Structure 1
Amino acid sequence: MNFFVNKSMGHGNSGVEHAQFYRAERFREKNIPFKLIFTDRLPQLHQHMKEWHIAESEVIGIYDYFLSDDPDNYLQVGEQHTHDFYEEVLWDTTDTQRLIRRQATGHYTETVQRRKQYLKEKNVYRIEDDRVILDNGRHKISWHYRNEGSRGKRATNIRVDNFRGKHYLFTTFEELLDFFFLELQRRFEDNVYIIDRGSENEETLIRMKQQGIPLKIVDVVHAAHFVAWDAAHPLWNNYYQYMFDHFNDINLIVVATQLQREAMISQLTAIGMIDVSKKIIAIAVGGVSSPALITPKKWDGETIQFVTASRLHPEKHIIHIIQAISQLRLQGMSATLAIYGAGSEEKQLISYIASLNLSQFIQLKGLSQNMIQDMQAYDVFVSASYSEGFGLTYIEAISNAMPIATYANLYGAQTLVRDGVNGHLATFGPKNTDEVANVKQLMDAMRRVCDHYDELSVGAAEVAKQFSNEIIADQWQKVIVKLL
């Protein structure tokens, strides 16, 4: 079995989850078996699976599995007793949540007991989860939390009652993960674990492999892997440090672009590692279905409608795009912006747009379940991200023959946007003091796209041909065949 290993998914997802959903489509097309694994506590999992059109038979949730009446059947067909989600909260006399009881969308209820602790040094109260109980009447999982300083809140003394007729106690979540993945090893054959997220998952699987358990590990890199050189020593992105530390235990590393592959090979070779090129391959995260049928767009020269789509988080720099639109309008250009996505910055962005008196011209559209289709109503895609391992939204724009204006980030923009061919790249500096200059560069790129719109749309249709879904599906099929 081929497992896509992750921690969670939800109503709004990051590029990691969307990359998994996209890969799942390619595996379905090739009839390659796969299962998505989620190891976080996800009381609304099955609701979100329906939103993103993921079948029950394609998912294994760690808690659904341990709470199942028939674990073997669950591994094959998924959860067959789903529920509507709701929760009830018990508040104390100081208006503090002390007990939360939820009906999960899986076949269990979730009870969370919370503790209130006065922190004298900060003169504040801290309210946090203390005990969690998952129960469906026949099976139960429960644990306490303890604080471990810099490591944060950690589950401890995890009881799993009546799993396959036995009771278990795990002192840490890592022990529970070990048991879970060993269960999968016993129930499936020829297992390939494609790790997308979760250092705990990666550590468990590498430990198992070092113990001689027959499994294959594929690490997928979704972001920039390299930070800087410290003398002759590379400083890696923390998410990938463990992968590089255990390079020899990993069967394959998949990056999204040839640029990143070449950079990784060069960096590893520079520190004395040999034959690394055989273990690192590039497969695009997303592609285009029927690129030959894409029709270039034409702009009438009137209002130019920009669109962006991402999580609404600070690292996406949506405020830069809003500032660029404001400056374009002050210069006399009739420009509008639609912002798709959800996240922690939503209220701040709404307030900022209103402060510029731009609410009529810049609108937040919420999450999209079909960004390729929703983009068709607009003219130009714009991004202000400083870093993209690939950038599925670039592909969605290219699928619509839509010109792109973006910061020239590694590695997505520099792979998918050919300056002067299907869009324009804006230079940028990474420091806070660079932001004013960055916004001006982005605004200039947005204006230049409008100056040569029709030609850039033709270029986008041509670039699309290099990112065919069929090619990407073939690449994944070859990887799986080679690993087996």
Structure 2
Amino acid sequence: MNFFINGGLARTNSGVEHAILKRLQLFRDHDVPAMLVATDFFFDLHRNAVIWGLPESQLLGLHDWFIDARDFVGQGAPKLSDYPMPAGMVELPTGNAQLRQFAFDGQTTSLIDVNADANGDVYAVSYFDPTRRQTRAEWYDPRGFIIAEDRYIMLADKNVRESRAFYSPTGQLKMLYTMAHDRTDIDEFEMVSVFDYHGHDYQFFGSDELFRFFFDEINQAFGGANAFIADRGITEAWALNNMQTRAFKTFILHAGHLNDETAPNGLVNYNYQYEFDNIGDFNAVIVPTQIQLDRVANRFGYRERFFKIPVGMISDAVLSEPVKTSIERQPQTVVTVSRLDEAKQIDHLIDAMAIVHEQLPQAQLEIWGNGSDDGRLREQIARLDATEYVHLMGHTTAVLEKLANAQLFVAASRSEGFGLTMMEAESVGTPIIAYDALYGPREIVQPGVNGQLIGLHDTDNVQQMAHWIQHYLSNQQALEALMASTLEARLAYSETAVWQAWQNWLTTIAEWRQAK
């Protein structure tokens, strides 16, 4: 089995999760066993898997494993409309279709909040004392049972979580997390207890030890000598490296490995510090671009353990679909799909569109995604009086559709380990205008072939971005020519090409197994 380790799967995900989903699809299409191993608690993990098209056969959750819920199907979570009114209480009006509140007769604040998702399925029930201090919360698994319960206490005049208990579908206590609180009142797991696991109880100090035990258990359950890939090393690498059973251990670089990519011997990105400090203990390292592979191999050695494998791929189904011409797309529409984070420099794109607008008043910029920079970007759009042509569109699961409707894709990130959305833009024939950032843009974008690159640190980079946007939006012949060559360039990331890259890694694992 090939285990891809990650925290989990949410309704909105980062590029890491999207890369894992594409990898799982690739392995599924080629009948090679692979599973997403979810180590964190997501109450809606199984519903999210359905949303993202991940079959249950490729999903393995840590909590499902220890609470005996792997094969549980259930009848679904209770509906908000059917939730029974607690005895002796009355319902308060909320004006919210996803919330019901109950209180004792005569109370004006709720003592019980029942929360539901957009489908009306209950996912959490919160309990409060008469002062509106939360005392506990129940979490519903979408399959129809209470999977977890949080309890809260007062600590230094603040209400903090004391514990989280996990229950089996039959209501048996199976796991208990107790919390420690630092001076910032951020709760951290201090001890994890596992009850009646194969007839024994276990205690672990922190999640690292729990993860290590879990990895060893699934390794043995699936026959031993399995392959593990850590997609988020900061939370998984120690546990993977300290497994007690034989496993082929790999980590993937999804981002730049340095704090400052202009200093090849500078400080290592803290997300990968443990891996590089212990690189000799890992069997393989997967790097999505040749540029980054050369840099890390030259600095840390072990070149024979490095594999260049793109973290995404363009499926045969996408390649077989007809591609819209420029005139079939939304006219003069530019798009970006990104987490709204300061490092993505979306503000540069907005400034560039303000320049374009002066010459092409019909040009539009659609920004798909969400994140912490949302408020600042909205202020910028308002300040530039750009609300008519710059649009924060929010999250979408229909990424390819949005990209296929645009005439250009733009990106201004300071750093990209790969740049999955650039590859997706290329997949539907949408040319890319991007800053020449390490590492993905420099490898994916071929100037004049599938887009244009702009010097990341050029003092006039915003003006250059505006120039290229205006050039192609106002020159249909040039745009059509660029789109045609983009369709040729995308074959470098076809399912066939990327699967061939994975063959080298799979062959190495087969040789490792034979050499035991």
TM-score (norm 2): 0.81
Q: Is the 8 A contact 1:257 1:411 kept in 2?
A: yes
CA distance in 2, matches of 1:217, 1:456: 42
Matched with 1:105 is: 142
Mapping for residues 67-82 of structure 1, pairs under 5 Å: 67-68=67-68, 74=70, 78-81=71-74
Matched with 1:171 is: 205
Relative contact order, higher structure (CA 8 A, sep 6+): 1
CA distance in 1, matches of 2:342, 2:133: 30
Matched with 2:292 is: 260
CA distance in 2, matches of 1:144, 1:151: 14
Matched with 2:230 is: 195
Cα distance, 1:353 vs structure 2:
2.9
SS in 2 for 1:227: coil
SS in 1 for 2:456: coil
TM-score (norm 1): 0.86
Cα distance, 1:230 vs structure 2:
12
Mapping for residues 200-239 of structure 1, pairs under 5 Å: 200-208=235-243, 211=244, 213-228=245-260, 234-239=266-271
Note the alpha carbon deviations across 1:332-383, whole angstroms, 9 max, x for none: 4431011222223335444543443333323333322231223221110111
Matched with 2:43 is: 43
1:5 aligns with 2:28: no
1:87 aligns with 2:124: yes
Cα distance, 1:148 vs structure 2:
4.7
Note the alpha carbon deviations across 1:262-298, whole angstroms, 9 max, x for none: 2222223xxxx4xx22111111122223448765733
Cα distance, 1:390 vs structure 2:
0.7
Mapping for residues 271-282 of structure 1, pairs under 5 Å: 273=301, 276-282=302-308
| Matched residue type, 2:228 | Y
Q: Is the 8 A contact 1:174 1:204 kept in 2?
A: yes
CA distance in 1, matches of 2:47, 2:165: 21
**Bigger shift: residues 163-172 or 393-402:** 163-172
**Structure 2 regions of 5+ residues with no counterpart?**
78-120, 511-516
| Matched residue type, 1:341 | G
Q: Is the 8 A contact 1:7 1:198 kept in 2?
A: no
Cα distance, 1:22 vs structure 2:
0.7
1:397 aligns with 2:425: yes
Matched with 1:121 is: none
Matched with 2:165 is: 133
Distance 1:386 1:448, change over 3 A: farther
Cα distance, 1:463 vs structure 2:
0.9
Cα distance, 1:478 vs structure 2:
3.5
Cα distance, 1:80 vs structure 2:
2.5
Matched with 1:244 is: 276
Mapping for residues 114-125 of structure 1, pairs under 5 Å: 114-118=152-156
Distance 1:8 1:150, change over 3 A: farther
CA distance in 2, matches of 1:229, 1:349: 26
**Bigger shift: residues 131-140 or 290-299:** 290-299
Cα distance, 1:140 vs structure 2:
2.6
Q: Root-mean-square deviation (CA), in Å?
A: 2.8
1:344 aligns with 2:367: no
- Count how many residue pairs are aligned between Structure 1 and Structure 2: 457
Cα distance, 1:238 vs structure 2:
1.0
SS in 1 for 2:139: strand
1:440 aligns with 2:478: no
Cα distance, 1:314 vs structure 2:
2.4
Distance 1:367 1:177, change over 3 A: same
Matched with 1:408 is: 436
Matched with 2:488 is: 462
Q: Is the 8 A contact 1:32 1:477 kept in 2?
A: no
Once the two structures are aligned, what percentage of the paired residues are identical?
Answer: 29
| Matched residue type, 1:172 | G
Q: Is the 8 A contact 1:292 1:465 kept in 2?
A: no
SS in 2 for 1:418: coil
